[in-house]
Structure 1
Amino acid sequence: MSRIMRWFLEGLVVLVPILITVYLFSAGINLVADVLTQTIGPYLSRELPIHGRWQVVFISLVLVVGVTILIGAITHLWLGKHIVRLVDQVLTHIPLVKLVYAAIKDGVNAIIGDRREFDKPVLVSIGEMQVPGFITRNSTEDFGLDNHVAVYFPMAFSIAGRVVLVPADKVRPLDNSSAEVMSFLVSGGVTSGKKKR
């Protein structure tokens, strides 16, 4: 079971950056198509009636999970690794597309990939507030700031967040695991920051 879960996570690492990139650009193309549909005529409309919507949603969910696990397993094969590398090279060499794809890929890899980078949960003192986050860089000399660290603050109910450069003496490490802190933050503080014993 743990192997299947690992394959699922590795499938997500491959699929999520590709799918979000494709989605963003296909949304732009669809916007143009919608404008053309409204201006040129109804014969360009591609809308189809959907019957049994809940059945379609359930089958789609099963297919998405199944395909994700399959892709995660394929990435362990010689041919699968080469296909993933080829797709990666193609997407990282297309102007504009590479910016979106690279940013999404790095973010997904940082959260669930092999090189997890949100592995240093901390509390940052801001006045009377204590704000949980993750150290992503121990040095900010590139920005001309000494004794500062880069801290990522995830947003609730979202994969978005904000990176803030804060003085190192305002940061206190947490004993909680990264998964516990991330779950607490993304859930808006609904889940516990500690595992139940």
Structure 2
Amino acid sequence: MNKLVNYFFRGILFVAPLAFTFLVLEAIFNWVDNLLPVDIPGLGLLIILGIIVSVGYLASTYFMKPIFEMFERFISKVPLLSLVYNSIKDLIGAFVGDQRKFNKPVIVQFDDGGNVMKPGFITQDDLSNLDLPGFCSVYLPHSYNFSGNIILVRKELIKPWDANGTDAMKFIVSGGVSHVD
């Protein structure tokens, strides 16, 4: 009976994350696929992916780049629109693109003895523009959540963490359960 229970829990450890991942991916697929009123399943998703790739290509070309930059300058002048657009752009840019922000994992020391520390990511190396020379900004993600805190901390309280940014984020978000190489 004890082995049967162990097999059951081992099966749960395999099946539950797999099922949850499938359900999340299916929900995202259906949501994106239904953005366009097309009756063929999957065609809406393919069209949207094609549009995104095309816009990315056009934004990279020599002739269209100034037009996209002009569009962004226009958006930056519209008060509420610029706040929403720039916030979303910065958030997405922190994970993908040329200016990824979560690629410098660090450990922040919170007490004088170095007994309390928290992992995070440097988002800005120098805060002299805020009249805070010797400080940098560190993002401290929360475990099991898509939120976190930004702290401004003296550079001498930060220790570089020799870890891949992705592995460090998995370690933090998993509550320290995931292994870091």
How would you bin the TM-score normalised by the shorter chain? 0.5 to 0.7
- Are residues 1:70 and 2:54 paired? yes
Distance (Å, rounded) in 2 between the aligned partners of 1:65 and 1:184: 31
Counterpart amino acid of residue 163 in structure 2: N
- Equivalences for 1:37-116 in 2 at 5 Å? 56=41, 58-116=42-100
Bigger RCO (CA 8 Å, 6+ sep): 1
Aligned residue pair count? 141
Cα distance, 1:175 vs. partner? 1.0
Q: 1:137-163 CA distances to partner (integer Å, 9 max, x unpaired)?
A: 3344555656433211234442x4321
- Contact 1:157–1:188 (CA<8 Å) still a contact in 2? no
Which residue pairs with 2:165 in the alignment? 178
Q: 1:108-148 CA distances to partner (integer Å, 9 max, x unpaired)?
A: 22332212333321011335443211112334455565643
Distance (Å, rounded) in 2 between the aligned partners of 1:81 and 1:165: 35
- Are residues 1:150 and 2:134 paired? no
Seq. identity, %: 31
Distance (Å, rounded) in 2 between the aligned partners of 1:84 and 1:71: 10
Distance (Å, rounded) in 2 between the aligned partners of 1:184 and 1:93: 39
Which residue pairs with 1:162 in the alignment? 149
Cα distance, 1:102 vs. partner? 1.9
Distance (Å, rounded) in 2 between the aligned partners of 1:145 and 1:77: 39
Distance (Å, rounded) in 1 between the aligned partners of 2:97 and 2:59: 13
Relative distance call for 1:144 and 1:90 in structure 2 (3 A) is: closer
Distance (Å, rounded) in 1 between the aligned partners of 2:103 and 2:79: 32
Q: Which runs of 5+ in 1 are unaligned?
A: 1-49
Distance (Å, rounded) in 2 between the aligned partners of 1:168 and 1:82: 38
- Contact 1:157–1:187 (CA<8 Å) still a contact in 2? no
Distance (Å, rounded) in 2 between the aligned partners of 1:143 and 1:103: 20
- Are residues 1:121 and 2:105 paired? yes
Q: 1:147-186 CA distances to partner (integer Å, 9 max, x unpaired)?
A: 433211234442x432112233332101112232234334
TM-score w.r.t. length of structure 1: 0.56
Q: Secondary structure at the match of 1:85?
A: helix
TM-score w.r.t. length of structure 2: 0.60
Distance (Å, rounded) in 2 between the aligned partners of 1:109 and 1:125: 27
Relative distance call for 1:66 and 1:188 in structure 2 (3 A) is: farther
Cα distance, 1:191 vs. partner? 4.5
